[in-house]
A and B are shown apart, each in its own frame.
Chain A
Amino acid sequence: MVKVSKSVNSSKPAFYTRECGQLFAMEGLIAAAIMITAAYLALGTVILPANADMHVSEMQLKQIGDDLLHMMDVPDGNGGTGYLESVVYNASPNRGPVANSQAGAAFNATFINYLRKSTGATINADTLRYSAAIYCVDDSGEVVRLPFANYGDNTGRNPSVCCARYVAANDWGLIGQSSSDTAVRLEVLLWRD
């Protein structure tokens, strides 16, 4: 009797009893796949790393600088010249170093006055600093940089923005070169102290 039962037992297909673990594996895999797909579909459109907008402060500085230079370049009357044009005229190297430094000082005073302008609605701390340079083209076609005016030093720790304005320069010439009516580029680096 025992022999019969043993033979019956051993004649059953062996995979039927030993492979019940496959179900666990399959269940695990299918559950994993379902979970990942469901999570991805549900959160897919929202999964964006939120960048804190680091550049807002730079954008504000750039807007202030661009607006400022634009306003200084607007002619006062029809057919007149703006303030920048008269400053650049005196800053031409062939005008002499005295006129150049006077132009730099005048520009400095006007620019700082503008920077400090405020309506009074908010507390306006005087933290803006700048450094200005004039870029011009010399006779050989090279671009030459002339330092112009500045207020405060940038030790490199504060990010600065560059605002530029093309200014019509009459009778402009570098020392030892011919003078002509041309255009120069006034660049101002602005930063917060």
Chain B
Amino acid sequence: MMKNDSGLLSLDFIVGFTVFLAAFIVVIGMLPGVYVNIQSSSADSGRDMTAYRTGVILAEDSGISSDGIPWEQQPPMRPENIVRLGLAVSKETPNILSPEKIERFYNVPAYFNLTADEYRAKLLFGERPRNFNISFKEDGKETLYIGDRVPDAGYGFSKCYVKVKDAGRLVVPAGDLTRDGVTIELPEGADEYIYRNTTSFILSHANLSDRSVPPAYRIDPKTERAVIVIGGINTVLGVQDGISSAVIESVGLFADGDEVAMPQNGGNEPYNMSNKPYICTVDGMPVETGSEIHVKDAGVLEFVLYPNAIYFPNSDSKLEIRFNMRYTCLTDGEYRFIQGETDYDYDSPYLIPLHLTDGVLEVCIW
């Protein structure tokens, strides 16, 4: 019907077209919002929040495993039992880390050998796989780290200040551990006499797991190592010329009086921290596990027993660490030998109080 070409449109058409144009402009105006949202899903806040969350999980949580045994005591063949990694001593002691968990996490000494994907699945929990670098430095020690090298810029960062719980140490001067007045008589025709005795240290689980001691200062022999230091042996044995040699023949472990088989290296059974059940050093030099330990001229003997659940089958079990000692005497006379039973508990005057060492944990995510 628009036969006229005078350029006049009907009013209805104009109004309708105006409304249409206005609506169209509003819709176009909403379009930039679409693109901005797509960008923000990969923005910096995602990386920083992942770094923050990872730092909190590591510093404040003690980790979860699927069968109730602490995650750092799982056998090395079965890392799938670990549900979540965490370094704290317990949930009630945030920012206080356990050295055993730190060793297992940073794989020094090599134990779990987790891959980067396993770290992501057990710690980072993100929809997108991210690169990570988690580094830890304790005062007076080297920096430990896992992950890739941090780029110069464009990474999310989180820093946590922590303290590391020290292992409990029982430091006994050899002079307090002697039995005087042992008379030795050489039998007819022999030029030496072998004398054997035992020296024991007793760890009582009931006493050590005292709940009135806060977890940060408590010795838990099931999950933490026990350190026994005997100092000044040479002042007791070395000065006695009649003793030609003094050795610790073997180390025996007795739980509630029954001998416990030494956990062997590797394998699934029994659970095993580090590949040796204990480490012995004489004056700083390590002695091979299982061989005899010569102590006659030793200044300091340090014995580190790694934790194992089989040492304490009940909540009131006692573990006895028995050093079987052998002395070779050349002459008759009265001797002083190292012998005795010492309790390893909080009331012992030889227990060095646990103290905490400073450290810093940094998490970088990109």
Contact = CB atoms under 8 A, between A and B. Distances in A.
Say if the two chains contact directly (CB < 8 Å): yes
Contact of B48 (A19, A24, A60, A123): A60
Contact of B135 (A32, A71, A120): A120
Chain A binding surface SS class: helix
A48 B364 contact: no
Given A56-B48, A117-B360, A122-B150, A64 B23 contact: no
Contact of A32 (B19, B217, B361): B19
B33 A46 contact: yes
Interface stretch (A73-81, A97-105, A137-145, A151-159): A73-81
B1 interface: yes
Interface stretch (B36-44, B264-272, B274-282, B333-341): B36-44
Interface residues of B, number: 64
Interface string B327-366: 0000000000000000000000000011110101110100
Interface stretch (A35-43, A84-92, A174-182): A35-43
Interface in B214-267: 214, 216-217
B17 interface: yes
Given A43-B30, A52-B43, A119-B136, A78 B354 contact: yes
Nearest to A82: B356
B34 A46 contact: yes
A26 B10 CA distance: 13
Contacts of B356: 74, 76
Contact of B364 (A32, A68, A121): A121
Interface string B3-23: 000000111110111111011
A21 interface: yes
Given A25-B12, A47-B30, A64-B161, A120 B137 contact: yes
Highest count of chain A CB atoms <10 Å: which of B52, B94, B145, B360: B360
A82 to B, nearest CB: 10
A21 B44 contact: no
B27 A39 contact: yes
Contacts of A32: 19-20, 22-24
Contacts of B214: 78
A14 to B, nearest CB: 13
A52 B214 CA distance: 43
Contacts of A63: 52, 55, 158-160
B166 to A, nearest CB: 10
A106 interface: no
A50 B22 CA distance: 26
A31 interface: yes
Given A21-B13, A60-B159, A64-B159, A121 B150 contact: yes
Interface string A1-43: 0000000000000000101111011111101110110010001
Given A49-B33, A70-B95, A76 B355 contact: yes
A121 B45 contact: no
B197 interface: no
B82 interface: no
B161 A24 contact: no
A59 interface: yes
A35 B361 CA distance: 54
Interface in B276-302: none
Counting from the closest, the 9 A-B pairs by CB-CB distance are A28-B16, A21-B10, A25-B16, A53-B45, A50-B40, A32-B23, A21-B12, A78-B217, A121-B135
19 contacts: A25-B15, A28-B13, A29-B20, A32-B19, A53-B48, A60-B48, A60-B157, A67-B159, A67-B161, A70-B94, A71-B162, A74-B356, A77-B353, A78-B214, A78-B353, A114-B161, A118-B137, A119-B360, A120-B143
Given A25-B15, A67-B95, 10 more contacts: A31-B20, A31-B23, A32-B22, A32-B23, A36-B23, A50-B40, A59-B52, A64-B161, A71-B358, A121-B135
Interface of A: 17, 19-22, 24-29, 31-33, 35-36, 39, 43, 46-50, 52-53, 56, 59-60, 63-64, 67-68, 70-71, 74, 76-78, 114, 117-123
Interface of B: 1, 9-13, 15-20, 22-24, 26-27, 30, 33-34, 36-37, 39-40, 43-45, 48-49, 52, 55, 59, 94-96, 133, 135-137, 143, 145, 150, 152, 155, 157-163, 213-214, 216-217, 353-356, 358, 360-362, 364
